Chain A
Amino acid sequence: MPVCLAQKPATAGTPDAALVSDFEAKVKQYLDFRQQQVGPPQKPTNNPGDIVAKQHERGNKLRVARAGAKQGEIFTPQIAAYFRRQIAASLAGAHGKEIRSSLAHAEPVKMELQINQSYPSNQPLQSTPPTLLLNLPNLPDGLEYRLLDRELVLRDTEGNVVVDYVPNALPESMK
């Protein structure tokens, strides 16, 4: 595949591979929980009001079910440190200059982050450089990474809910 991987993924049997496995297990656990709470994904419709209403309904169910959720439950300190290392390695790698340029043009969004909050649909999405995404563990459908200023958010796309985030995922120099 002619895609430029900036860095090799974690090698099996290493401490980093164990962290990635741990992260993937937590993600799967979340998705199983989500499936129980809100059911299967929405289907396309002509009525945008229905889409928005169902998204709110799903988000609210998740917020109630995860009322006690805290930052760091998925991005534990060790996993968060792994993500910061991966991002720093991407920025220091062969494509670091291009990644920095893309980040500078990404229309950074500044807002106070809270677990379970919904991402306001009237705010633009900060684009995430693809080389950076290539160096992070893959996510299953229904979840995505989003940069918000310097934080890396794990977002539930079905319910539009912030599941967890890595504080200061981008280095201070990117501010």
Chain B
Amino acid sequence: MRTCYSVLVYLCICVFSVTAEAQQLGVKLPLHSGSVRFAVIGDSGTGNKEQYEVAQELDRYRQAVKFDFVIMLGDNIYGGHSASDFKRKFEEPYKALLEAGVKFYASLGNHDDPNIERLYKPFNMNGQRYYTFKRGNVQFYALDSTYMDTQQLTWLEQNLRSSNALWKICYFHHPLYNDGKMHGPDLDLRNQLTPLLKSYGVNVVFSGHEHAYERIKPQNGIYYFIQGDSGKLERHDFHRRDEMQTSFDRDRTFMLVEIDGDNLYFQTVARSGETVDAGVLTRQSGPARAAAGR
């Protein structure tokens, strides 16, 4: 009985301290018990001061949000790919997160060397250019958008079809929709991927490449985020178009995501700690999803 009481007190203290810390930081996620929580970074691997500052802020939020993995949207290592480059552009900036046991799941960008990075264990790619993993009721698909060949499209179709996950999330470097001046959307990639994403119920797509943050209005019922500014930044990057929901191009950012049941909560945080976007998205399904796409 005494042990039970002690455990209860300990748990209450833990919950209270997490909540207090989260409130202090301005965390907008509900932090529900048993939810899937992760962070998102894109175009991060510069090794510059700003990448380190984003990483520091990310670690502050980790302590409050308790996410245990990060998805990487490509351009994980810019420039050279020597051991010292990996140290300066990944291991050092994210040292606190790595030491806390946070796992990183990388996808490949056009500045990444696929044949080095896919073999680098801390990127959890298991030797593959593209792969899938599941957390709770969420299936993640990390794709290689620089080289979307027939084998990858076939693999994606098979793996989307066979998954019974409640949520399906694809992430890859080149955005299918994007209002940035620097790159813009990849229209041929959009042509090839959209039928698969629609047919097999993909809910959310995260991409990088454009060095800014943008949330797109649902397209074909699918939610799209562009988060390509965790290291690089292109200021004043956007054309304001109808498909844009919101955007931010004044500082580097990262995202925090929490999925609980049919809800996906997100919060985008700038290097300064300012929250630049936040909200909740409801899982699309059946006819409602088709309606959302109109």
Contact = CB atoms under 8 A, between A and B. Distances in A.
A44 B127 contact: yes
A31 B119 CA distance: 20
Nearest to B174: A127
19 contacts: A3-B192, A3-B195, A42-B127, A46-B121, A46-B122, A48-B83, A98-B188, A102-B186, A102-B189, A105-B183, A105-B184, A121-B80, A125-B114, A125-B146, A131-B192, A134-B149, A146-B147, A158-B115, A160-B115
Given A55-B115, A133-B150, A144-B147, A44 B188 contact: no
A76 interface: no
A44 B120 contact: yes
Interface string B139-152: 00000011111110
Given A125-B112, A127-B146, A128-B148, 20 more contacts: A1-B154, A2-B157, A3-B195, A41-B127, A45-B120, A48-B85, A48-B116, A49-B82, A49-B83, A51-B116, A98-B190, A122-B79, A125-B114, A126-B110, A127-B147, A127-B174, A130-B149, A130-B189, A132-B188, A138-B149
Interface in A98-140: 98-99, 101-102, 105, 107, 121-122, 124-134, 138-139
A130 B193 CA distance: 9
Interface residues of A, number: 45
Interface in A73-117: 95, 97-99, 101-102, 105, 107
B72 to A, nearest CB: 15
A47 B86 CA distance: 9
A130 B148 contact: yes
A130 B192 contact: yes
A125 B110 contact: yes
A107 B188 CA distance: 15
Contacts of B196: 2-3
A3 to B, nearest CB: 5
Contacts of B157: 1-3
Q: Bin the interface of chain B by size.
A: 35 or more
B189 A129 contact: yes
Interface of A: 1-4, 41-49, 51-52, 55, 95, 97-99, 101-102, 105, 107, 121-122, 124-134, 138-139, 144-146, 157-158, 160
A132 B188 CA distance: 9
B235 interface: no
A131 B199 contact: no
A13 B213 CA distance: 52
A48 B90 CA distance: 11
B280 interface: no
Contacts of B112: 125
**Which one of A3, A127, A160 has the greatest number of beta carbons of chain B within 10 Å?**
A127
B153 interface: yes
A99 B252 CA distance: 31
Contacts of B116: 48, 51-52, 55, 121
Contact of A124 (B110, B122, B188, B190): B110
Contacts of A51: 116, 119-120
B150 A138 contact: yes
Contact of B188 (A95, A125, A157): A95
Contacts of A107: 110
A128 B136 CA distance: 34
A105 to B, nearest CB: 6
Given A48-B83, A127-B146, A157-B114, A4 B191 contact: yes
A2 B284 CA distance: 21
Nearest to B158: A1
Contacts of A43: 119, 127
Contacts of B86: 48
Given A41-B127, A42-B119, A95-B191, A47 B80 contact: no
B21 interface: no
B200 to A, nearest CB: 9
Contacts of B150: 3, 133-134, 138
Given A133-B148, A133-B150, A127 B186 contact: yes
Nearest to A104: B184
Contacts of B82: 48-49, 52
A128 B148 CA distance: 8
